[in-house]
């Protein structure tokens, strides 16, 4: 390692949101960096930054994410702090990240990916299929809502904003009979007491980059670049390169439900993808395999295939 290692007197500043899950991800990043360079915990300072997505007035209003901003909702203020030199790195949930970074920033470090699956969470029912006719399910995810209604059009879906703890509290209060969470988040917060059933990816493809942590840095910061290279998980990086190219080619807006998952088998990569109408009335899926090093090209090719299947009017559809 080069000179200027972080120290308790001059710690590396780790920017993050303040939710329990975001803090768990920042703590994991700190632990991995500390272990890689034999540094004490206080050689790193965790800096909490409030984002638009953390605004309680927006969360409590139960407005759909698409009305507030969606992509960039949980990252914009953190990236501004990074560009302004207030922090040295930014830790993100990759599924929150736009496919393009602001000028001057790079997102080229990923930690080992957690469980990618969605979790069906209900105090009284084990699976989606066990829900009674017309049951109320809470979710703020456009993808999950569309996938659920595609499988069970009889269900009622209500907006369910907030962090994991907020959504579990709404479930306990009877606002809905079930909801969805990410297995990755439950695992990272050691929430083994939450009644959940993992949903196989053959039944419900996850969000692009679900379960992955990304660490963003300034493009010209060579010290940080060298440190992050030591903890980068190459396999996760290959998988996300394919998934995010798929998303970028679809030009997924906040009104387009998109799902996708890349998996590696040696040097081969398999990418599955799905696009849906927001009300679940139509869905198109497909998959592609190829060399892992060709991930971005595979993602682009699969996206183009689904665009052709869906037709030019698919993404312009609006309910009557």
* Positions marked catalytic: 96
Q: To which residue do tokens 């990916």 refer?
A: 113
Q: How many helices (H) and strands (E) does the chain have?
A: 10, 13
Give the residue among 72, 15, 26 at the shortest CA–CA distance from 188: 26
Q: To which residue do tokens 């904003």 refer?
A: 161
Residue 164 Cα distances to 97, 99, 160, 179, angstroms: 19, 24, 10, 11
Q: Are 209 and 203 in contact (CB under 8 A)?
A: no
Residues 6+ apart with CB under 8 A from 289: 268, 269, 270, 271, 298
Sign of CA dihedral 47, 230, 96, 72: positive
End-to-end CA distance of the chain: 60
* Residue-by-residue DSSP string for 103-146: TTEEEEEEPPP----EEEE-SS-SSGGGSPTT-EEE---HHHHH
Coil vs helix vs strand at 4: coil
Strand partners, 309: none
């Amino acid at each position: 390692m080069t000179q200027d290692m972080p120290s308790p007197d001059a710690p590396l500043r780790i920017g993050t949101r303040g939710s329990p899950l975001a803090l768990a991800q920042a703590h994991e990043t700190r632990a991995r960096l500390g272990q890689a360079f034999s540094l004490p915990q206080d050689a790193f300072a965790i800096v909490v930054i409030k984002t638009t997505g953390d605004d309680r007035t927006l969360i409590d209003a139960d407005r759909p994410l698409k009305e507030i901003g969606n992509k960039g909702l949980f990252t914009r203020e953190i990236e501004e702090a990074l560009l302004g030199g207030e922090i040295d790195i930014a830790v993100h949930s990759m599924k929150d990240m736009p496919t393009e970074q602001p000028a001057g920033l790079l997102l080229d470090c990923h930690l080992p990916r957690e469980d990618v699956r969605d979790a069906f969470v209900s105090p009284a029912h084990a699976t989606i299929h066990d829900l009674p006719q017309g049951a109320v399910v809470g979710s703020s995810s456009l993808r999950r809502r569309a996938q659920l209604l595609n499988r069970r059009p009889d269900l009622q879906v209500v907006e369910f904003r907030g962090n994991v703890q907020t959504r579990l509290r709404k479930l306990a209060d009877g606002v809905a009979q079930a909801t969805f969470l990410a297995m990755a988040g439950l695992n990272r917060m050691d929430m083994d007491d939450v009644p959940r059933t993992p949903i196989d990816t053959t039944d419900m493809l996850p969000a692009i980059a679900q379960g992955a942590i990304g660490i963003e840095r300034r493009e010209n910061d060579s010290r940080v670049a060298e440190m992050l290279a030591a903890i980068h998980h190459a396999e996760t990086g290959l998988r996300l390169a394919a998934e995010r190219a798929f998303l970028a080619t679809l030009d997924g807006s906040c009104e387009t439900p998109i799902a996708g998952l890349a998996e590696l088998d040696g040097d081969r990569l398999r990418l599955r993808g799905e696009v849906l109408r927001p009300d679940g009335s139509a869905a198109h899926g497909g998959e592609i395999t190829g060399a892992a090093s060709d991930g971005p090209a595979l993602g682009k090719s699969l996206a183009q295939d689904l665009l052709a299947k869906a037709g030019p009017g698919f993404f312009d559809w609006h309910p009557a």
